[in-house]
Amino acid sequence: MFKIAGEVDPTLFNTLTELLRKRPIPINRSRKTSGVGRSQVFGICRQRTGHYAGSRMNYERPDLFEEIIRIGNQILPTGFTYQAIQLNMNYETEAHTDKGNRGESAIIGFGDYEKGELVVNATEVDIKNKVILFDGSKWVHRTKPFTGTRFSLVYHTVDRDFKELPVFSFVADDKGKLILREDLEGSTRIYNRDGRVTFSSNGVYPVVIPKKSILRNCVDADSPLQPNKL
């Protein structure tokens, strides 16, 4: 049902925790099966059109995207692959299964919280500073009540074959203004300064358009985001 893949030094999450305290992730009201709360996906996600594309959170919060990839590179078991990461902040999930996922997920909790165990089927699992592997697409799971500030990361595979995460880089347009380029397994999208897709090589345009400039709170434009290959 589940297995413990290892324990993690809690100081590994210091930078991520500080970033989230300064600027929390927004509330997600679209997770109908697990409930409303601060829960956002990074990496690849399924759009309401049915197509898969990079999550808007990748370019709204590249600081978080890079940090959770850095953490994953250090804590995940050898050979574990993923295409998406769910980041949760004080999110008490209701009982649900992850219908859009495939195979095992890796979950870990961190923060200054108490209780808040993960319940898989009817078994309680302490995930605080522990990497737990379980198949959330098959087993019903939920979060027990907790006190304090509870964060969690869930590294998982979407229900489609991808072998890499989206790769982002800042490039200059014909007027010298910085724009964002997203590459994903042979397809390319170009976003303007308002976060709107101005070009899509495969004709897929994400339906969720960010309201804030994609260049706000981003890494230094002189140091483009590096490829995040699995």
**Residue 31 falls within a domain, yes or no?**
yes
Dmax over CA atoms of the chain, in Å, equals 59
Domain total for the chain? Answer: 2
**Residue 50 falls within a domain, yes or no?**
yes
**Residue 228 falls within a domain, yes or no?**
no
Detail the DSSP E strand segments found in the chain. Answer: 2-7, 27-28, 37-46, 52-54, 84-89, 101-110, 114-115, 118-120, 123-125, 130-134, 141-143, 146-147, 151-158, 167-172, 178-184, 187-191, 197-200
For residue 125, count other CB atoms closer than 10 A to its CB: 19
Whether residues 176 and 128 share a domain: the answer is no
**Residue 209 falls within a domain, yes or no?**
no
Q: Residue 77 in contact with residue 130, Cβ under 8 Å?
A: no
Chain segment 84-135, per-residue pLDDT in tens: 999 999 999 999 999 888 899 999 999 999 999 999 998 999 999 999 999 9
Q: Is the pTM of the predicted complex or chain greater than 0.85?
A: no
Whether residues 50 and 87 share a domain: the answer is yes
Q: What is the DSSP string of 168-194?
A: EEEEE-TTS-EEEEEEETTEEEEE-TT
User: Mean pLDDT by 10-residue block, N- to C-terminus, for the chain (230 residues)?
Assistant: 90 98 93 90 81 81 91 94 94 91 94 96 95 94 96 91 76 74 85 77 72 48 37
Whether residues 44 and 21 share a domain: the answer is yes
Whether residues 93 and 8 share a domain: the answer is yes
Whether residues 120 and 188 share a domain: the answer is no
**Residue 206 falls within a domain, yes or no?**
no
- Cα 210 to Cα 26, 37, 159: the distances in Å are 12, 19, 25
Whether residues 184 and 136 share a domain: the answer is no
Chain segment 4-20, per-residue pLDDT in tens: 899 999 999 999 999 99
Whether residues 112 and 153 share a domain: the answer is yes
* Domain extent for 195: 167-200
Q: Residue 144 in contact with residue 77, Cβ under 8 Å?
A: no
